[in-house]
Amino acid sequence: MDQTPKIPGPRHVVLEGGPAGITPGAVPDGHRLDDRDRLKIPHQGGYEHFERQQGEAADTAVYRWVARTKVAE
């Protein structure tokens, strides 16, 4: 019998909007997607910002693009 504890939360992540080519796999290592309200993803010299949407299916976390910022020099 499998004794592995089950971690509640979404198993799938969907990013809506933002530039083409950004996928959940673009999130830096060490970031768990299923327990965050906001994501900041590095992309082409800046950051793309996504916010989690409420009301999604229990097994899917939906993040919608909200802004782009540039890297400070």
Task: For residue 70, give every residue at least 6 positions away whose Cβ sits within 8 Å of its Cβ, in sequence order, or none.
Answer: 45, 46, 47
Q: What pLDDT shows up at residue 29?
A: 57
Tokens of 15: 């990013």
CA distance 54 to 37: 10
* Pairing, β 60-70 against β 12-16: parallel
Q: What pLDDT shows up at residue 50?
A: 92
Q: What pLDDT shows up at residue 64?
A: 94
β-pair partners for 60:
12
What residue spans define the domains of the chain? 12-70
For every one of its 73 residues, what pLDDT tens digit does the chain have, with 9 covering 90 and above?
A: 445 444 455 567 888 999 988 877 766 655 555 567 888 888 899 999 999 988 766 678 888 999 999 988 7
